């Protein structure tokens, strides 16, 4: 019984963590695009996006990550035999990748807060798909719990990624024509 409550809390915070990661990168896109505006719009938008990203990052995303990982560790302490399962080892590798993704977002957040913009809005749109790929991979792993079926899922994810990238490029062309 305790296990199901902890699992529920873990899932809730995983969902809010991903929501924060998806939205923060979208805000990065808006911050970058705001830099192309004339003043006073640039200043007004930049200041507003800084407020929004700071609140999202420190009030939702960081706490969600910490709580999701905390509940995950608790779950593994209750069922330590899972660590020996191949699907769990692959899932944990994706979790490590997600933590690195989170850290990269933090570095971008700090740079933008200091008015340093290293990436284009198109690069940021592509970067946003990293969290999507990790999400798809982890969901397939958790549901299928099978390394072979997971490989088929991964092939599907790669195909899905290519379609997403083509969609982003098409969207860019449509925007450029306007």
Question: Taking the domains of the chain in order of start, what are their residue ranges?
Answer: 2-177
10-24 per-position pLDDT tens digit? 999 999 999 999 999
Long-range CB pairs of 87-93 (<8 Å, 24+ gap) are 87/141, 87/142, 87/144, 87/145, 87/146, 87/147, 87/150, 90/141, 90/147, 90/150, 91/138, 91/141, 91/142
Q: Which two tokens mark 61? A: 């995303």
pLDDT at 110: 97
The pTM assigned to this predicted structure is 0.85
DSSP string, 67-91: HHHHHHHHHHHH-GGGGGSHHHHHH
Q: How confident is the model at residue 161 (pLDDT cuts 50, 70, 90)?
A: confident
The predicted model gives 22-36 an average pLDDT of 96
For 81-95, letters b (16+ CB in 10 Å) and e give eeeeeebbebbbebb
pLDDT at 176: 80
* pLDDT beyond 90 at 172: no
Residues ≥6 apart with Cβ < 8 Å to 9? 67, 71
Average pLDDT of the chain? 90
62-95 per-position pLDDT tens digit? 999 999 999 999 999 999 888 888 888 888 999 9
91 labelled as ligand-binding?
Answer: yes
pLDDT at 87: 82
* pLDDT beyond 90 at 175: no
Residues ≥6 apart with Cβ < 8 Å to 89? 83
């Amino acid at each position: 019984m305790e296990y199901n409550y902890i699992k529920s809390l873990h899932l809730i915070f995983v969902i809010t963590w991903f929501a924060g990661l998806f939205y923060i990168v979208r805000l990065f896109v808006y911050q970058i695009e705001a830099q192309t505006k004339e003043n006073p719009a640039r200043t007004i938008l930049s200041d507003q996006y800084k407020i929004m990203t700071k609140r999202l990052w420190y009030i939702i995303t960081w706490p969600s990550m910490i709580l999701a990982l905390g509940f995950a560790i608790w779950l593994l302490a209750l069922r330590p035999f899972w660590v020996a399962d191949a699907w769990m080892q692959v899932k944990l590798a994706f979790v490590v990748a997600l933590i690195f993704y989170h850290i990269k977002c933090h570095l971008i957040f700090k740079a933008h807060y200091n008015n340093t913009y290293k990436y284009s809005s198109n690069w940021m749109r592509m970067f946003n798909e990293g969290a999507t790929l990790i999400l798809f991979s982890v969901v397939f792993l958790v549901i299928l719990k099978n390394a072979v079926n997971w490989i088929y899922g991964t092939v599907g994810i790669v195909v899905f990624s290519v379609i997403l990238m083509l969609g982003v490029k098409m969207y860019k062309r449509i925007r450029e024509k306007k």
